[in-house]
Each structure stands twice: as C-alpha cells, then as structure tokens.
Amino acid sequence: MSESKKLDLPAVRALLEKSHGREYWRSLEDLAQTDAFQDLMHREFPRYASEWEDGDSRRNFIKLMGASLALAGLSACTRQPTEHINPYVRQPEELVPGRPMFFATAMPLGASSTGLLVESHEGRPTKIEGNPDHPSLGACDVYAQASVLGLYDPDRSQALAQEGEIRSWGAFLGTVQQAVAAQKAKQGAGLRILTETVTSPTLADQIKGMLAVFPGAKWHQWEPAVAHSAAAGARLALGQPVNTTYDLRGANVIVSLDADFLSSGPGSLRYARQFAAGRRVRTPQTDMNRLYVVEPMPTPTGTKADHRLPLRAADVEQFAWSLAAALGADTSGRKGVPNAAFDKWIGPIARDLQRHRGASLVIAGEQQSPAVHALAHSMNALLGNVGKTVVYTEPVEANPVDQVASLYDLVKDLDAGAVDLLVVLGGNPVYDAPVELGFRDRLKKATLRVHLSLHEDETSELCHWHLPMTHYLETWSDCRAHDGTVTIMQPLIAPLYAGKSVHEVLTMLTDQPERSGYDIVKSYWNSQHTGADFEAWWRKAVHDGVVPDTALPVKTVALRAGWAASLPQPAGQQGLEIVFRPDPAVYDGRFANNGWLQEFPRPITQITWDNAAFMSPATAHEKGVVTSDLVELEYRGYKMRAPVSIQPGHADGSVTVHLGYGRTRAGHVGTRIGFNAYGMRTSTALWQDFGLNARKVGSDYLLVSIQDYHALDTRRHIIEATTIDKYRSNPNVIQESAEAPPRELTLYPEYRYDKYAWGMAIDLTACTGCGACVVACQAENNIAVVGKQEVHHGRHMHWIRVDSYFHGDIENPKIYNQPVPCMQCENAPCELVCPVQATSHSSEGLNDMVYNRCVGTRYCSNNCPYKVRRFNFFLFSDWNTPSLKLQRNPDVTVRSRGVMEKCTYCVQRINRAKIDAEKEERKVRDGEIQTACQATCPTEAIIFGDINDPNSRVTKLKAEKINYGLLADLNTRPRTTYLAALRNPNPEIET
C-alpha cells in the first residue's frame, strides 16, 4: 500500500514538461495521479458512507460554552468603563443609538503593536479597523481582526482560582501581601517576575519600581515566537542591540533572507503597504521594485517574489555568506559553502543590488541565525542603505534581554529552591518553554506560584493562584509599535469578567494595591509629561491612538570591523532539517481557542484546524509519504506524530512544523487539536536544526484543506499574469488573451444603473494572500464557524476566500493568490434560477440576497460559476451563547438554518454612507465606503467604489489595460474584476 502510494516524481516532471504554455495547477497529488490522489478522487460511493452523525459536534461545545456562561451568571448587558474614554471622532461627538463609534487603541503582539480603531455599537466593541495615524498605516492582520472574538470567548477564565477553588481578589491580596511582606525582609531575594516581551513603558516603569524596592528580586522574560537572534546579530555586527526598521518606499531591489516581512513580524503591515506601492504599475512607464526571496517554506512574501529560491533554513545562511562575499562585504574571508542551487543567482543578485546602492535592501528573517542578521547589517551598510532604506533605533523592548538566558536563569534559581514567590504575568511557559528545561516540573519548585492569564491554561493548572486577565480591549495600558511609537490603549468595554490588567495585578505587590489601571497609566504619563496642560495632551493622545513624537530616535551605528572573525568558517550540514515557525493563524498558540483563526485557511497551504509537517515533493517521495499520511518525527530523542502535507516550493531536505498546536488546556475550540511542536523545540535550536528523522507510521489523517486537488486548464481565464517587460512591449497583452464577449452582443435591452453602480477591482500584483480580508469579512458579517468536520465536508462559510494556484515546476513553482468575493454579476446566473426571488438585482447593481425569503433549494449556488455562495446546512450560527451575541454586527442579519448567504459588498456600510450623503444632500464620496475586506487589506489590493463616477479609483482601475473579469467568457458581466499579476524578473536570471 505504502509502496503504491509513493509519489511518482519523474511522472510529474514529465507531465509538466508536456504541458506547454502557462499551466496552473492546484496541487501535486493532482499532477502526480498518485494512488493517494486516486484514492482521494475515487471514493466511489457507496464507500465513505460514514456520517451517521452529522459531525456537528462544534454545535455541542458551543452549547457547553453557553452553559458555562450561564453558570457564570453573565448577562448580555455591557457597561462603559467609569473613567472617561475618548471616542475617535469620525461621527458626531455624542453617541447616536444605532450608530457605531470608533475608539483608537492598539493591540500589542510580541515586540510590536498594531494601531486600531475599534467599532463600538452601544458600548460593544464589534469590529476592528486599522488606525491610519499609527505606524501600521491603518491596516490589520488576521490576529487583530480576530482579537475581537477573543474578547468574547466564553472560555476565558471568569474568576480567580486558588488551586481550582474560586476566590475573591481580596483573598488573593491577603495572600500575596503576606508573601511580599516576607520578601521585604530578604530584599526580595525570593521574588521572581516572569513576563512576556514588554514594550509597555508603564509596565516597565512599574517593574523597575519594584526591583528598586526589592533589589534581590529578578525580572525574567520569555516569549516563544519573538526574534530571539536579532539582538545577538546586532551585537555581533554593530556591537549593541538595536531595533532595525525598514523603509521600503525607496527600495527598488529587496533581498529577503527567509524574512516574511510582508505578513508577519513587527512592522509587516507598514512594509506590505510600502512594498505594494512600489509595485503598482499603472502606466507602462512606471517602475516596479524587484524582490528576491530565499526561504524554506513558501510564505506570503514568497508568493510576491520575482525570484524565489527554496533553500533549507540553514542554507539561507550559506546564501547570505556567499552574497555578502560577492558584494565584497567584510566577511573576514568567510564565504558560503558552494551550492548548485543558488550559486548561479549570487552574481546577478549582487550586481542588481550594486546597481541600486542606497535604493536596495537586505532583510534578515526574524528566525534566522545571528550570523544572517549580522550579514544583512553589513550588506546594507556596504550598499549605503543605512539611513535610507534601513533605520536603526534603540530596541523597542523596555528591557532587551536574551530571553533564553533569562529563562535559564530562572530555572537555575528554581532548582536552587531560591524562588519563594513566582509571579507569571501573561504567557504560558509550561506550554511553550524550550522542552529540555522541563519547565512543567521545575515550575513546581517555586513556593508560591501566581499566574495571570486570559484563559485557565497549562500554566495556570500548575500555579497556586490563577488570576483572570483583562483582554486588551478591556484594559488601560500602553504599548509601542515596531518603530517605538507609543499608543495609549483605552478600554472599549468594562471587563466582562472579574479580570484585572497586568498593571493592576503588579500594583497589588506594592504598598498601594488598590490603584486602578487608569490611574497607573495616566499617572505614569503625567510623570513623563513636560509642558503645560497634561489633560489636553492626554485627551489628544488617547483620542488619536498615538502619542506624538514617541517614535524612537534614529540611531547611527557603525559596523564592527572584522566582526566575522569571531565566527567559525561556515560549514555545510547534512541530514534532514527541522524548521520551527509560528503558525500563520494561532501564532505561538495564544490564539488556539479562537474559532475564526482556527477556521482561517492558512495562506498557500489552505489548511484549517491543524498544523502539519510540511515538506517538499522530493523529500516526501524519498520518505515514501503523501499528504495526510502520519509520520513520526524524531529529533534529539524527542518523538512526535504529525500529519504530512506536501508543499510545492518547499526546500528539499527540510521539514517545517508550525508552533501553537497540541494545546491541552486551551478551551473548547483549541484543546487537543494538531500536534505540539514545542515538544521538540530546544533552546539551542529555537528555529531550525538538523538531525531530524521522519518515518511513516500511518495514513489517512483527516487533514482539512478548503481547496481540493485539481489541475487548472489554462484555457480557463482565471489567473492572468505577465511580466512588466511583456506589458511594456504590449500593454494589451492581457486583454488579448481574455475572451470577454462584447457588451453589445445581446438581444436584451440593458438595465441602466443611473445613480450608483458599485464595483470592485482586486489587484493580483498587490495581494500577498495574507488572508486578513477573510477574517475581517467574518467579523463584519457575522459569519459562522462550522468546525473541522464541516469544513472537511465543504461547508465552510467564508464569503471571501483567497484561492492559491501554482504555476511551473513542482520544486519551485510560482504561486498566485486570488481573493474571490461575490462577483456581483450583472447577468447573475444565480438570480435566474431562484424560484422565490430570494436573490435579485438592486438598482445599484448589487446581487442582493434576501435571507428571509430564501427557502434553500441551493439552485443558485449550483448555478454560480464562482461558487461564492455559502449555505447553512445546519444551524451554524450560534443563537445561544450570550457573549458571542455581544460580538455580532447589529447591521447584519444572523443567518439561520437552511438559507443561502453570500458577499453583499458590505451593503450595510453602503447604506450607512448613502444615508449620510442624503442628509447632506450630496453624492457618496469616493472612498467614503470601504468594504471590510478593503479596509483591512495591508496592500490596498482591494478597491471598491462607484463605477458611474468617472473619477473614482475603482473606475480608473477598471480602465487599466491589465483589468480582466474572472471567467468573463461566460458573459456574466462581473462587477468585481481583477488586475493581472505583474512580475518583474531579473533578465539575467529569467529571460
């Protein structure tokens, strides 16, 4: 069986050679026609008649959640915080019932934060938007979009617990004050504080304050998924830790050394926006930046590369050495091990970089080794990019330490029994600390253990005291952006449960334990404030969501001469490589209980509800495994079972696993799904290492991806792509290949759309496939989560999806992303077949869906060539859980069982804007309406507007020569059209 299941690679290659022209394909199994694929495709009925039960188990736990909530006695009422919080003035100052207000705040994550404007309906935060005044430029990532669900997560811990027993804050205060008093005597020698990465000035000030009182106490930091080696790299090359930020506006040639700077890590939102701006070709004259990416696992950044080279994570360092050497950087004679894969690239890339001195950029990946960071520093210095495309500042972290060392230090003290009182503020070290530390057992050595967290998680389980933490939307605090800009976070809602913020908990250890978070934060900033009228300043700062002039000052640093001398001569390594990366959806595991993120199809892989061992076709072939087989990964004696997912474009000889799964105490959604890669992650190799063994131990694991496997006939007009040169030589190249029938070829009289005619244009050149639009849409439109089983059955409910297609050879295909919302066809096939007029056309060209009228024949979906309609096969929406009701958008119907639903171009937003416009007796202005997907898009790839207005952005885009309609040959006349994907390859490499 396993033999026959082998992937016949030669066959695949042959097949691809046969396929002349642009041959797009969806997946490998498809090309390969492996037995596994045959299996998958040939489940002839009546096989697989397995669903006696309808697999709606998710419904049951939602019920459980409802129950647990009822027990907690939470009613659906909300209270504004008593303190004065400041509405972000877009709408009239005063709150108008039925009108949302927007409040500025920020979501801290790792060593950075995203600036937000949170939409609040009568005191309920319901939707996250980006804050354009913030360095994140008004875009959002999936984490920010989904965080609003995290606020209302019914599994959040709702009460203090002392070893499982519910207690009052008073009781805790008593205990902890006692313990602290005991510490007073010994200078706090037994007091330890463990936090995640801290960027909050207030918190840092509080902790430093404590350390002043307790000189013997120690502050440790551990967060699993931050850039641990960046600081080391900076020390190596520049002699000091610095924060490296980039300005892509001036960068014409960008080399990413395994850096996914477009979709993850500090500043990625800003970088994505700037990067896309540098690629927006509107006339053949405009220039286009060029991106080279070397990385093991395809990332959204990789999909945008003009040249992408899959390299083992370790080889990225070799590549960096070679490139640096080729550029003539000071590498103390060290150079990378020659490698057939990239040697031919080094020259062209080096020349390309040199041609753009001061306008080029080398970015080292957060997870790459210190050496790679150092090399990036030296290359940027050499190319004169420093100060132009690269900007150095002081670290954003309040206390930049080597977190691994910090954690080791703590462990040492624990072993010595020196820890009397351990206060864990946030984080989940028991789950995510390096495995060799055995933190689970060592933690127990602390005499009194206190854990503050959103959920009762793995760490809370082992602590004497579990304290419920307030969600950031319930909290007064502050945080820094990637460039240091401070946001004062204001609560949108009073804590739903008995939670306290980290500031409030910390102050309980002091002699003024009753201070509110508001006082702590405000008084800190008062103490920092110079000049008159603090109140006005405070009001403005809170209102704007950014504190003026808090971006860290630019720092000039010099490259250490001969820095490389200290390093050993780079040597090639053999064997199978294991690569750890944060999960694109649940990150380091903290979002594991967020249904939206679990169901969010990961970029490129399209997998939901799971993590997997990703490997290249060749590696899979060698191991004799195919997608959804189970392999046993063995690394340094640690063993782990993981499902295989074959990822075209993955580096050979390397296996990527995503962190954040295999949670044992995450909540009803996130517990016990996927495998826990932390179980193999050691402090000496946080991100990648060799010495992995993988052997097949099973098959038919239910690995659910929302795209099934099929080849794409290029005669179908789905993805249109070309290169900038071809476009320049013939601007009509796209339109010539398309087959849109001329409008006048019809017997029917045309319907006329006199007032408004809504339309959308999606720029495939800009789209990185990050998927923020998918989650944004889910939040805006009350879209239900259906659970793994139902996604497996093909019943996911996303109104917009990001299809990904591969093109070219399987080792290193080009990858295209295509966001697909409803096309709002003017000749909508769905409307014609609806027996009850539940879907019909509006006077503005919207393809309306009337839920109340729908009887659920599903005929419309059958007849929709784009398959963008979604059906409620069961009662998918949760009608019971009170807290989830709070999250719902009151302007959008919550769908019930048996009705069809679909993208409406956010018609609720359109109508709000139209009402405003009518009141002011004007037409809706261009850009006044932003659909949820558009508003959150980091690269502004989605543009919506009135195509009757000749000056609107969307009209201009649709006039572009590279504008085309999806399946336009069907004469559906889609209102949503696409701008073809343009690439800018280096003629020296690709001709």
Q: Which of residues 777-816 bind other proteins (CB under 8 A)?
A: 790, 793-795, 801, 803, 805
Contact 800, 933 (CB under 8 A): yes
d(CA 43, CA 49): 10
Please report whether residue 173 would count as binding other proteins according to CB under 8 A. no
CB of 98 to other proteins, least distance (A): 25
Does residue 417 come out as left (phi exceeding 0), alpha (psi in the -120 to 50 range) or beta? left
CB of 793 to other proteins, least distance (A): 5
Please report whether residue 94 would count as binding other proteins according to CB under 8 A. no
CB of 586 to other proteins, least distance (A): 24
d(CA 742, CA 864): 21
Listed residue (595, 593, 609) closest to 457, CA to CA:
593
CB of 874 to other proteins, least distance (A): 4
Closer to other proteins by CB, 40 or 337: give it: 40
Number of H helices, E strands in the chain: 32, 40
Compute how many other C-beta atoms are within 10 angstroms of the C-beta atom of residue 419.
23
Please report whether residue 554 would count as binding other proteins according to CB under 8 A. no
In the window 3-32, what residues touch other proteins (CB under 8 A)?
Answer: 26
Please report whether residue 618 would count as binding other proteins according to CB under 8 A. no
Please report whether residue 869 would count as binding other proteins according to CB under 8 A. yes
Listed residue (869, 874, 870) closest to 897, CA to CA:
874
Please report whether residue 313 would count as binding other proteins according to CB under 8 A. no
According to CB under 8 A, which one of 46, 170, 333, 742 is a site residue for other proteins? 46
Contact 809, 13 (CB under 8 A): yes
Chain centroid to Cα 150, Å, comes to 15
Contact 220, 418 (CB under 8 A): no
In the window 656-695, what residues touch other proteins (CB under 8 A)?
Answer: none
Listed residue (461, 493, 462, 464) closest to 476, CA to CA:
493
The 3-state DSSP class for residue 539 equals helix
d(CA 158, CA 65): 12
According to CB under 8 A, which one of 16, 41, 64, 182 is a site residue for other proteins? 41
In the window 47-86, what residues touch other proteins (CB under 8 A)?
Answer: 47-52, 54, 56
Max Cα distance, the chain (Å): 93
For residue 639, the cross-strand partners are 634
According to CB under 8 A, which one of 2, 722, 863, 948 is a site residue for other proteins? 863
- DSSP H helices, 624-771, are 724-729, 733-737
In the window 817-856, what residues touch other proteins (CB under 8 A)?
Answer: 818, 820, 826-837, 840-843, 853-856
Closer to other proteins by CB, 401 or 783: give it: 783
In the window 882-941, what residues touch other proteins (CB under 8 A)?
Answer: 897-900
Please report whether residue 742 would count as binding other proteins according to CB under 8 A. no
Closer to other proteins by CB, 631 or 846: give it: 846
d(CA 929, CA 931): 6
Closer to other proteins by CB, 59 or 134: give it: 59
DSSP 453-513: ESS--HHHHTSSEEEEBPPGGG--EEEE-TT--EEEE--SS--SSS-B-HHHHHHTTSS-T
Closer to other proteins by CB, 406 or 976: give it: 976
Listed residue (885, 888, 856, 853) closest to 873, CA to CA:
856
Please report whether residue 973 would count as binding other proteins according to CB under 8 A. yes
Written as six digits, the tokens of 83 are 């303190």
Q: What residues have CB less than 8 Å from 808, skipping those under 6 apart?
A: 16, 23, 814
Number of residues that bind other proteins (CB under 8 A): 81
According to CB under 8 A, which one of 733, 808, 874, 894 is a site residue for other proteins? 874
- DSSP H helices, 214-293, are 228-238, 268-277
CB of 665 to other proteins, least distance (A): 31
Please report whether residue 285 would count as binding other proteins according to CB under 8 A. no
Closer to other proteins by CB, 422 or 712: give it: 712
CB of 808 to other proteins, least distance (A): 17
Instruction: Quickly tell me which residue has 């927007």 as its tokens.
Output: 102
According to CB under 8 A, which one of 3, 17, 20, 44 is a site residue for other proteins? 44
CB of 35 to other proteins, least distance (A): 14
According to CB under 8 A, which one of 16, 40, 359, 685 is a site residue for other proteins? 40
CB of 819 to other proteins, least distance (A): 11
Closer to other proteins by CB, 538 or 873: give it: 873
Q: Provide the residue count of the chain.
A: 991
CB of 233 to other proteins, least distance (A): 40
In the window 696-735, what residues touch other proteins (CB under 8 A)?
Answer: 707-708, 710-713, 715-716, 718
CB of 974 to other proteins, least distance (A): 12
Please report whether residue 879 would count as binding other proteins according to CB under 8 A. no
Contact 382, 393 (CB under 8 A): no
